[in-house]
Amino acid sequence: MRERSVRPHRRTFRLLGSLLLVTAVGASLTGAAPAREPSSPASGPVPLDRVIPAPASVQPGGSPYRITRGTQIRVDGSRETRTVGEYLADVLRPSTGYRLPVTDHGRGGIRLRLGKGPFGEEGYRLHSGRSGVTITAARPAGLFHGVQTLRQLLPAAVEKDTVQPGPWLVAGGTIEDTPRYGWRGAMLDVSRHFFSVGEVKRYIDQLALYKVNKLHLHLSDDQGWRIAIDSWPRLATYGGSTEVGGGPGGYYTKADYKEIVRYAASRHLEVVPEIDMPGHTNAALASYAGLNCDGVAPPLYTGTEVGFSSLCVGKEITYDFVEDVVRELAALTPGRYLHIGGDEAHSTPHEDYVKFMDRVQPIVAEYGKTVIGWHQLTGATPAKGALAQYWGLDGTSAAEKEQVAAAARNGTGLILSPADRAYLDMKYDKDTPLGLSWAGYVEVQRSYDWDPGAYLPGAPASAIRGVEAPLWTETLENSGHLEFMAFPRLPGIAELGWSPAATHDWADYRQRLASQAPRWEALGIGYYRSPQVLWPAEGGADAG
Ligand code: TNX
């Protein structure tokens, strides 16, 4: 069966959406560029530079290409190129109503080809002119990212699932594009609330739109264990049986999980599984009494406190447990990384924390994976090659920042997820009906306006592997909730990960962001209409 884009999983959350939407009218804009109508004019194609993430280089010029009933999607002989071609066809067919055959014959049309060039693993060149659009890349991931750019160059109505009038013009010119960072991640917490395979796939499709290439799944926490482990079956069947607020929770069978991994790979995202330890482990401790130092299993937990649970560092069974879990999870993971958490271990004495990390990191290596930990790992001894995920904020102490920076100078790579910038679960402002505010309110400009390369004092730019936007779900229960928090901030974090620092410009970005709104509406994505952005009138995609 063929995969489709966001569309088939569409559910609208119109009711929630309209309750939450904040009107832009009369908003006061600080440092804002003069207002201009951001939606694409009905008369002409979308300008080549109105893409998120901003491409590395854009040379507009020449005639536009028009997709017609006769357009073919031309691929070279490789199976991988054909797969990207089929994906593109699935995006374009419902709204254009055209056949758009994927073929290795013919001339003109939309051409996808693998070829030599300065593209790296993920870069591409897109050339558009009267006779066709050609996307060239060294690797299939580059073709796939080029296809996402092509989507944004077409009118927003291309994202609809019913036939639209067009015309389907792509502006003339050339885009050459490669990412600034190899790590452009999004984290989804499926522990505090459980999200079905379908909900995760829907989010994957949304991430792919903005060239995000890592899906970090937070698979265990105090409130729920979400992945079946054959050697410790109660982790999932009991430890996964609830969630914040006392709902039914759930877990992924191994088949479910493989399906998520496969689907993510089809969108060129690598899944990074996280088992959080030694803290954040109440669900495991509740499932097996023997894991507790006192041999007594605590009850399941459905609240939102953190920092009260710990694995028993002095007991051998702890390491049998860790090894079994790591072995089974590594076997499900084609990617290189395994995230072992390590944050907020407030109930684990420091020496125990260090001892635990010293024993657990080699287990991850033994099963062929590279360790990632939250930045508290830098308070122990990060293994060679390990990455630390920084989630501090402006107010984090200089000593803690320096601990992370020193590790970075010592060779530990950093993924930047500053909580007061990149946390998608922070409220936008005091009136945001969902989310938390412990790191402050994070409006769209604050979320976008920072430079990962120069963010952490004392950390060499070369240590920065990229950025990641975590979405914690204490208050989030369904796809509508996820989307309201992720949109519009997620595209900004994705741009920080992809685009050269030289393209960074809030005044320009907010206009490009505004022109995404009709696309989100066409895809059924409910978003927060931040007063910092001059959004087009709702329903704008109908005009396109
Ligand atoms: C901090 S960030 C946490 C999570 C919470 C989150 C809520 C981190 C590594 N730990 O346990 O869910 O804040 O924003």
CB of 448 closer than 6 angstroms to any ligand 1 atom: no
Both 157 and 185 in one domain: the answer is no
Cα-based distances in Å from 259 to 113, 262, 263: 28, 5, 6
Residue 422 alpha carbon to ligand 1 centre in Å: 12
Q: What is the pLDDT of residue 43?
A: 60
DSSP secondary structure string for all residues of 268-316 = T-EEEEE---SSS-HHHHHH-GGGSTTS-PPPP--S---S-----TT-H
Q: Which of 114, 143, 177 is the last residue of a domain?
A: 177
* Structural domain total, the chain: 2
CB of 306 closer than 6 angstroms to any ligand 1 atom: yes
Both 159 and 202 in one domain: the answer is no
Q: Which element (helix H / strand E) includes 401? A: helix 398-409
Residue nearest to atom 5 of ligand 1 (CA): 472
Both 190 and 306 in one domain: the answer is yes
CA atoms within 13 A on the CB side of 392: 21
Buried b (16+ CB within 10 A) or exposed e, 402-440: ebbbebbeeebbbbbbbbbbbbbbbbbeeebebbeeebb
Residue at 536 is within a domain: no
What span, in angstroms and rounded, lies between the C-alpha atoms of 489 and 506? 13
Q: Quick one: average pLDDT of 449-467? A: 97
Q: CB-based contacts of 285: which residues, under 8 Å, 6+ apart?
A: 291, 292, 297, 298, 309, 311
What number of other Cβ atoms are within 10 A of residue 316's Cβ?
8
This prediction's pTM: 0.92
Both 282 and 411 in one domain: the answer is yes
Residue at 490 is within a domain: yes
Residue at 529 is within a domain: no
Q: What is the pLDDT of residue 27?
A: 31
Q: What share of the chain is helix, strand, coil (3-state, %, to 5)?
A: 35, 15, 50
Q: Which of 177, 195, 228 is the last residue of a domain?
A: 177
DSSP secondary structure string for all residues of 402-422 = HHHHHHHHTT-EEEE--HHHH
Both 156 and 222 in one domain: the answer is no
CB of 344 closer than 6 angstroms to any ligand 1 atom: yes
Residue nearest to atom 9 of ligand 1 (CA): 343
Active site residues: 344
Q: Is the pLDDT of residue 147 over 70?
A: yes
Task: Report residue 55 as tokens.
Answer: 């491409």
| Gap between the terminal Cα atoms of the chain | 31
Residue at 34 is within a domain: no
* Per-residue pLDDT tens digits for 49-66: 999 999 999 999 999 999
Residue nearest to atom 2 of ligand 1 (CA): 391
Residue 42 alpha carbon to ligand 1 centre in Å: 44
- Going by the DSSP 8-state scheme, the letter that residue 76 receives in this structure is -
Q: Ligand 1, residues 340, 343, 375: which to mutate, most atoms within 8 A of Cβ?
A: 343
Looking at ligand 1, which atom is closest to the CA of residue 344? 10
CA atoms within 13 A on the CB side of 277: 31
Residue 368 alpha carbon to ligand 1 centre in Å: 27
Q: Which element (helix H / strand E) includes 355? A: helix 350-366
Q: Ligand 1, residues 437, 472, 474: which to mutate, most atoms within 8 A of Cβ?
A: 472
Looking at ligand 1, which atom is closest to the CA of residue 341? 9
What span, in angstroms and rounded, lies between the C-alpha atoms of 40 and 47? 8
Both 46 and 90 in one domain: the answer is yes
**Cis omega before residue 334 (within 30°)?**
no
Q: Is the pLDDT of residue 338 over 60?
A: yes
What span, in angstroms and rounded, lies between the C-alpha atoms of 13 and 46? 28
CB of 390 closer than 6 angstroms to any ligand 1 atom: no
CB of 122 closer than 6 angstroms to any ligand 1 atom: no
What span, in angstroms and rounded, lies between the C-alpha atoms of 344 and 378? 13
* CATH number of the domain that residue 270 is part of: 3.20.20.80
Looking at ligand 1, which atom is closest to the CA of residue 304? 12
Q: Which of 8-12, 70-74, 302-306, 321-325 has the lowest mean pLDDT?
A: 8-12
Q: What is the pLDDT of residue 345?
A: 83
Looking at ligand 1, which atom is closest to the CA of residue 472? 12
Counting every residue, how long is the chain?
544
What span, in angstroms and rounded, lies between the C-alpha atoms of 234 and 237? 5
DSSP secondary structure string for all residues of 483-501 = HHHHTTHHHHHHHHHHS-G
Residue nearest to atom 11 of ligand 1 (CA): 306
Residue at 523 is within a domain: no
Looking at ligand 1, which atom is closest to the CA of residue 376? 9
* Per-residue pLDDT tens digits for 471-494: 999 999 999 999 999 999 999 999
**Beta-strand pair 57-60/124-129:** unpaired
- What range defines the domain where residue 279 resides? 180-500
* CATH number of the domain that residue 67 is part of: 3.30.379.10
Both 163 and 196 in one domain: the answer is no
Residue 43 alpha carbon to ligand 1 centre in Å: 47
Residue 280 alpha carbon to ligand 1 centre in Å: 10
Looking at ligand 1, which atom is closest to the CA of residue 374? 9
Residue at 162 is within a domain: yes
Both 313 and 332 in one domain: the answer is yes
Q: Which of 21-25, 50-54, 124-128, 391-395 has the lowest mean pLDDT?
A: 21-25
Residue 293 alpha carbon to ligand 1 centre in Å: 25
CB of 374 closer than 6 angstroms to any ligand 1 atom: yes
What span, in angstroms and rounded, lies between the C-alpha atoms of 208 and 201? 10
Both 301 and 212 in one domain: the answer is yes
Both 90 and 229 in one domain: the answer is no
Residue at 525 is within a domain: no
What span, in angstroms and rounded, lies between the C-alpha atoms of 215 and 473? 15
CB of 391 closer than 6 angstroms to any ligand 1 atom: yes
Q: How confident is the model at residue 6 (pLDDT cuts 50, 70, 90)?
A: very low
Residue 472 alpha carbon to ligand 1 centre in Å: 7
CB of 472 closer than 6 angstroms to any ligand 1 atom: yes
Burial of 238 from C-beta contacts in 10 A (0-12 / 13-18 / 19+): middle
Residue 488 alpha carbon to ligand 1 centre in Å: 21
Q: What is the CA radius of gyration of the chain?
A: 23
Residue at 464 is within a domain: yes
Q: Ligand 1, residues 344, 389, 473, 489: which to mutate, most atoms within 8 A of Cβ?
A: 344
Task: Report residue 24 as tokens.
Answer: 């832009």
Q: Is the pLDDT of residue 29 over 50?
A: no
Q: How confident is the model at residue 540 (pLDDT cuts 50, 70, 90)?
A: low
Residue 222 alpha carbon to ligand 1 centre in Å: 12
> Hey, what amino acid is at 184?
R
Q: Which of 143, 177, 211 is the last residue of a domain?
A: 177
* Per-residue pLDDT tens digits for 225-255: 999 999 999 999 999 999 999 999 999 999 9
Both 316 and 288 in one domain: the answer is yes
Closest to 205 (Cα-Cα) out of 147, 280, 244: 147
Both 393 and 328 in one domain: the answer is yes
